[in-house]
Structure 1
Amino acid sequence: MSAKKPSAPATNPDKTGTDTSSSKSPEKKKSTTATAAGTGQRKKNAKRRQGDGMRETVESIAIAFVLAFMFKTFQAEAYVIPTGSMAPTLYGRHKDVTCSECGFHFALGASTELDQESGRLMGRIEYAVCSNCGTLQDVKDAPVFNGDRILVNKQVPGFDRFDVVVFKNPEQGHVNYIKRLVGLPNETLRIRKGDLWVKKADDDVYSIQRKPPSVQKDIQLTVYDDHHPAQRLIAAGWPERWEPSERSTENDGAAGWVPGAAAWTTDRDARTYSCSSDVTDDQWLRYRHFMPVSSPVDASGSILQTPPTIQPMLVADFCSFNAVMPISRENMPRDSVAFQGAPFWVGDLTINATVEVTEANDQAAMVFELVEGPSTFQCRIDLTTGTAELTDQSTADPAVITTMATAETQLQGTGEWDVTFANVDDRLCLWVDGALINFDNSTEYDGSEIPQPTQKDLAPCGIAFTNAAATVSNLVLERDIYYRNDIMQFDQTNEDGSFGTDVQPHNEVRQKDGLQAMLHDPEAWAIKYQEESADLLEGYGTYGEYQLDADEYLMFGDNSSMSKDSRLFDYLSRPLNGVFSHRYAVREQDLIGRALYIFWPHGIPFLNDGKGIAVRYHKEPPKQQGWAPSNLDADEYPSVRVPFYPNVGRMKKIR
């Protein structure tokens, strides 16, 4: 895993006031005979009215500025996001990339190209990796854009867990940061299995913290979008991710699943999968995570990997936003390009699909299944009644199935619906046509703090039908954000026990060694992870527990692997500034406001093949001490392009 990049602060964008003026229409006067005296009087009145109008205009402008200042100071304020520590929720400086192999569109963080103080170009990101198909992309000349501009509410009566909050940086009080609030006063928090676990002040037990369903759904990252298959790779023998499948009697194939299920027919061009109604048992369409460990395409665009080397692997915390490589292709190592720095298994998955049922016979059913380690969760919908049943099969005996909850839905008879089934934060959720379904019992369960992937996680989700004719399309598999358990060790007291101001970090511990290479072998990965976790907790366990006082909060970035947040705050400058809170804490007095809305993401250029016309270019850094950056070509790298139209799709409420 690469070294952590400090998040640049959230900064205020340039703002200009809009002049407003008010004027009054002169009153109508009765006609009179013009006299010399009368004419002079009218001129006096006209001059007086003109002077009054100018004064009123100036007063109106002054009042507008005062009101704007008061609104900014006490109510709301606009900020621009410079870095990607909160991706995918908020974008900092980035490039929009469309994969040349599969056509998948993704954002790529580009804040590291600039010196955050001077704004000068310090490097060029040359290559990136598509998280959908794993191929290398040449992005050196891809258009670059500034970060999202957001509106922040500064009049908040209180802050809740998982709010996105702007606050003063504890290390530099004049600098603002934006993160997600994860820890509240008088709590102790720790990270396990990528999730947040909290112990209250009067409790001895940690419990997992579950994001509100609306937040959970909004911050998912795409694992695979079936509308964007890598057609050339598939034509060369690369397997499809979604395949009609049946269980193998020899326990071979991907997680014991082999191509089969004759009731299904596929249209690979339209990316649709149809099941016939003449079957009386579950007919499965399964997802297998066939993700390359290195780019299957070389510098010339030719396919490198051959089908015999292809194996399914665990879903990992890989994110295209971070997959940047500012090095030349000729010098690039071929091993683990796509998953470099993404060694951790993510078991919290969400499946999305459009389902069209054209025939529903007696006992017709539709099933969504998600696997996480030893547990298998199903949502089985009776298409004759619309009843949805959530079940948990977590024991070694597959015949032992526990019903968790039931609900009535509109999934009844024939029709077309958008369905989302999620297993995130040890809780099952079901959405139909965007509406969250309310079940008659809790859909939460007590999961393990210890990751326990099994062979089943190589084919972690599926859809099945019984006694129903249906077509499935728009398949998208997503994953939850994954909080990394990086630990920074500090001494906060001097040797004599007095409060320390000269504090030095000892080391930063990351769980990574060997894990990446074991993503194809779930059992070996689980053993290695537990060994490293035991060593980590034995040596640094107390440093990974974040205890908060009565006025302290904990802040994490959504882009955990690229965020300098509470996990990695240092302690060197706080005492010098008169701040004596915990190293990782943000004081209540430093909270500024809650992020409300992305009101202006970057504009979308048009003309010139979508690249627009360059009107401003980057500036190179000054040549100092003989150092000169190479291959920057700043005068050929546009920083502003016109014309553009608003990016309406990213104007949204921040969750």
Structure 2
Amino acid sequence: MTTKPAPAAHAEEDTNIPQTLQSLIVAFALAMAVRSFVTEGFVIPTGSMAPTLMGQHLRPTSPATGYSFAVDAGPAFDMMRMLGANYRDIARPMYDPMLSLTDQIEQVSNTESAQNSSMGDRVLVLKYLYAFQEPKRWDVVVFKNPTDPIGDSANFIKRLVGLPQEQILFLDGDVFTAPLGSGRDAFTIQRKPEYIQRAVWQPVHDSDFVPVDLTRLARVWGKSWPGPPWQGTGFETGDKRAWRHDGADAASLQWRFDLMPITDFTAYNIWRDVPVTQRYSVSDIRVSVAIDADDPAKLSSEYTLETRRRNLRFIIADGKATLRIESAREGDADPITVLEEQSVAFTPRTDGAALEVEFWHVDQRMSMFIDGEEIVSLDYAFASLDERLLASYNGRTVEDYTRNATFQQPTPPQLSLSFVGSPLTLHRVRVDRDLYYRPAVLREDPYNQPPQNGEAVSGAAFATDFEKPAQLHSDHFMMCGDNSAASRDSRLWGRPSPLVTAIFGSDAPFIVPRPLLLGKAWCVYFPAPVAAVEGWTKFVPDAGQLRFIR
């Protein structure tokens, strides 16, 4: 009996080339399908959405305080491209936003700025999401640029602020809307949800950042540091991070606008040519503070914001947390009129930990948060748009404002903190401001109004004409950048590209037609990279900046 030898078994490590190729083809096909129909990555090229999303930027650290912040690198690259190598070493002033926006702390050359810059954030966009659900106000959206849908700036990313079938008006930085065809008395303010509001607060001052060397700072400035913008009686502030008051008597702090105005300026634009005269005072403010009282049960705390002809009072006292709106008094002898009030019971903590308090005034709403939880809120309204305008621009008339809104400064708010009843220490005293949508005037600007699109539109920017609010019709959306001072958006675009008009039949200027919406920006999956070792090329994503987009 004979037997045939068994065929030799293939070694386990042998590669099946056809199967491997098939797997790669399937994986590639799935990736292309996902990219085409589910999600796609985009790079943020500019700073129009800063600081929510970063374009190409650098992140300096102040030698005076250690404060780190993002700065738009675009101006440095623009100068190098336009003026050549001779201007590579021209120095630019650098400021520390926690100390001053007028006194520089050092100078940085264009070459150094370019070498230390990082590319913009990379974001994932949920494509075709809007085929299944309606776009929502405050979504961050990627869309085709209606003025140039096939050029170098074909894809834009902005925040959706205006919806179809409504009128929209920007006033004192806020968004007001009304149904199409309704009168001016139908306009109401649009408020952002808490999770979005937390994402868009922009820092003004933080008491944790104080000069580490007052002598060196005085030598650089040629004068002494005047101290933090919070100054008053009873507290030892100066160059300390913790501010102490010994005693149960009254102590107070007032914000000094001469030291640090609260405006729509953002540190990201520190090299952008934004004139100081066109920075707008902002009254939508968050003040947060950690209060460490020796005897919490006896302490009474109050934050007062004077703005828009009202005194907004946030009070923690007598077992209650109270929000109160009073009419502003012309003189000390005038009576106090309480317009609205809301209170809830509140028991101070007794575990010895500091009380983390946030006082919010934003979008005509007062809110008080304790340890991150909202405990009381109070919405308020004005009788009309005219009343809101006159309250925001105290001493001016409607005619003054409409003559040229871009040169009308809102009346600056007044801020104060007061305490009585217990010795205490304040930590982490921070001030943040809300987004501010600016008024503007339309110009013959080839970037916003390309000449091939037809005659340039003139007059007040879209949605900023108080007498003629913007009209959004069916399937029309309005998009704006969070960095309003440096954003090409629906306020400024002129007529759409002839291609958009030919394909979609819409020749309305300023708006984004529904078919141009590409999807909702979902997350930053590859933040601006950092160097693994100082001096190396930046290629490692900053994992601490991975985040969902709000």
Give the TM-score normalised by structure 1.
Answer: 0.68
- Please give the per-residue CA displacement for 1:558-607, whole angstroms capped at 9, x wherever unaligned: 11111110011121623575142421111111111111111221222254
Q: 1:404 aligns with which of 321, 341, 350?
A: 341
8 Å CA contact 1:381–1:411 kept in 2: the answer is no
Residue aligned with 1:85, SS: coil
Q: How does 1:254-653 map to 2 (within 5 A)?
A: 260=233, 264-266=234-236, 268-279=238-249, 282-291=250-259, 314-324=261-271, 340=276, 342-362=278-298, 364-382=299-317, 385=319, 387-396=320-329, 397=334, 399-409=336-346, 411-413=348-350, 415-439=353-377, 442-446=378-382, 448-450=388-390, 451-452=392-393, 460-488=414-442, 503-505=454-456, 507=458, 541-542=467-468, 545-571=469-495, 573-574=497-498, 578=502, 579=504, 580-607=506-533, 611-613=534-536, 641-642=537-538, 645-653=540-548
The answer to whether 1:38 aligns with 2:19 is no
Residue aligned with 1:393, SS: strand
Note the C-alpha offset of 1:242. Answer: 4.5
Cα distance between partner residues in 1 of 2:452 and 2:51: 37
Cα distance between partner residues in 2 of 1:339 and 1:113: 18
Q: How does 1:79-118 map to 2 (within 5 A)?
A: 79-114=42-77
8 Å CA contact 1:318–1:341 kept in 2: the answer is no
The answer to whether 1:176 aligns with 2:144 is no
Residue aligned with 1:158, SS: coil
Q: How does 1:19-38 map to 2 (within 5 A)?
A: 37-38=4-5
Return closer, same or farther for 1:429/1:648 CA change in 2, 3 Å cut-off: farther
* Aligned amino acid, residue 449 of structure 1: L
Return closer, same or farther for 1:456/1:90 CA change in 2, 3 Å cut-off: closer
Residue aligned with 1:127, SS: strand
8 Å CA contact 1:404–1:443 kept in 2: the answer is no
- Please give the per-residue CA displacement for 1:505-562, whole angstroms capped at 9, x wherever unaligned: 154658xxxxxxxxxxxxxxxxxxxxxx9xx959xx54xx321111110000011111
Q: Which runs of 5+ in 1 are unaligned?
A: 1-32, 246-259, 292-312, 326-336, 491-499, 511-532, 614-640
Return closer, same or farther for 1:380/1:585 CA change in 2, 3 Å cut-off: same
Note the C-alpha offset of 1:403. Answer: 4.2
Cα distance between partner residues in 1 of 2:192 and 2:84: 38
8 Å CA contact 1:420–1:430 kept in 2: the answer is yes
8 Å CA contact 1:277–1:361 kept in 2: the answer is no
8 Å CA contact 2:210–2:240 kept in 1: the answer is no
8 Å CA contact 2:453–2:496 kept in 1: the answer is yes
Note the C-alpha offset of 1:201. Answer: 1.9
* Aligned amino acid, residue 612 of structure 1: G
Cα distance between partner residues in 1 of 2:337 and 2:309: 13
Cα distance between partner residues in 2 of 1:115 and 1:343: 23
Cα distance between partner residues in 2 of 1:473 and 1:558: 29
Cα distance between partner residues in 2 of 1:191 and 1:152: 28
Return closer, same or farther for 1:605/1:164 CA change in 2, 3 Å cut-off: same
8 Å CA contact 2:231–2:237 kept in 1: the answer is no
Return closer, same or farther for 1:112/1:316 CA change in 2, 3 Å cut-off: same
8 Å CA contact 2:180–2:471 kept in 1: the answer is no
User: Who is 1:26 aligned against?
Assistant: none
* Aligned amino acid, residue 104 of structure 1: Y
Note the C-alpha offset of 1:139. Answer: 2.6
Cα distance between partner residues in 2 of 1:581 and 1:572: 6
- Name the % identity: 25
Query: Greater Rg, structure 1 or structure 2?
Result: 1
8 Å CA contact 1:131–1:318 kept in 2: the answer is no
Q: 1:153 aligns with which of 112, 126, 145?
A: 126
State the Cα RMSD in Å. Answer: 3.6
Cα distance between partner residues in 2 of 1:319 and 1:575: 36
Cα distance between partner residues in 2 of 1:170 and 1:598: 25
Figure out how many residues of one structure are paired with residues of the other and give that number: 493
- More divergent stretch after superposition (133-142 vs 454-463): 454-463
Residue aligned with 1:589, SS: helix
Return closer, same or farther for 1:37/1:340 CA change in 2, 3 Å cut-off: farther
* Aligned amino acid, residue 173 of structure 1: P
Note the C-alpha offset of 1:457. Answer: 6.9
- More divergent stretch after superposition (553-562 vs 591-600): 591-600
Return closer, same or farther for 1:603/1:36 CA change in 2, 3 Å cut-off: farther
Return closer, same or farther for 1:473/1:502 CA change in 2, 3 Å cut-off: closer
Return closer, same or farther for 1:239/1:152 CA change in 2, 3 Å cut-off: same
Note the C-alpha offset of 1:110. Answer: 1.6
Cα distance between partner residues in 1 of 2:177 and 2:454: 28
Residue aligned with 2:22, SS: helix
8 Å CA contact 2:325–2:338 kept in 1: the answer is yes
User: Who is 2:182 aligned against?
Assistant: 203
Residue aligned with 1:170, SS: coil
Note the C-alpha offset of 1:172. Answer: 2.4
Residue aligned with 2:134, SS: coil
8 Å CA contact 1:128–1:139 kept in 2: the answer is yes
8 Å CA contact 2:147–2:453 kept in 1: the answer is no
Give the TM-score normalised by structure 2.
Answer: 0.80
* Aligned amino acid, residue 5 of structure 2: G
Cα distance between partner residues in 2 of 1:475 and 1:235: 28
Cα distance between partner residues in 2 of 1:348 and 1:648: 31
User: Who is 2:448 aligned against?
Assistant: none
- Please give the per-residue CA displacement for 1:148-201, whole angstroms capped at 9, x wherever unaligned: 111111224221101101111112223211000000000111211111111212
Cα distance between partner residues in 1 of 2:296 and 2:138: 42
Note the C-alpha offset of 1:202. Answer: 5.0
Note the C-alpha offset of 1:61. Answer: 1.3
Residue aligned with 1:376, SS: strand
Cα distance between partner residues in 1 of 2:365 and 2:429: 21
Cα distance between partner residues in 2 of 1:49 and 1:317: 64
Q: Which runs of 5+ in 2 are unaligned?
A: 396-408, 445-450
Note the C-alpha offset of 1:339. Answer: 5.5
User: Who is 1:61 aligned against?
Assistant: 24
* Aligned amino acid, residue 430 of structure 2: V
* Aligned amino acid, residue 200 of structure 2: I
- More divergent stretch after superposition (130-139 vs 232-241): 232-241
Return closer, same or farther for 1:102/1:121 CA change in 2, 3 Å cut-off: farther
Note the C-alpha offset of 1:443. Answer: 2.9
Cα distance between partner residues in 1 of 2:71 and 2:251: 39
Cα distance between partner residues in 1 of 2:418 and 2:149: 55
8 Å CA contact 1:371–1:456 kept in 2: the answer is no
Cα distance between partner residues in 2 of 1:289 and 1:606: 41
Note the C-alpha offset of 1:85. Answer: 0.3
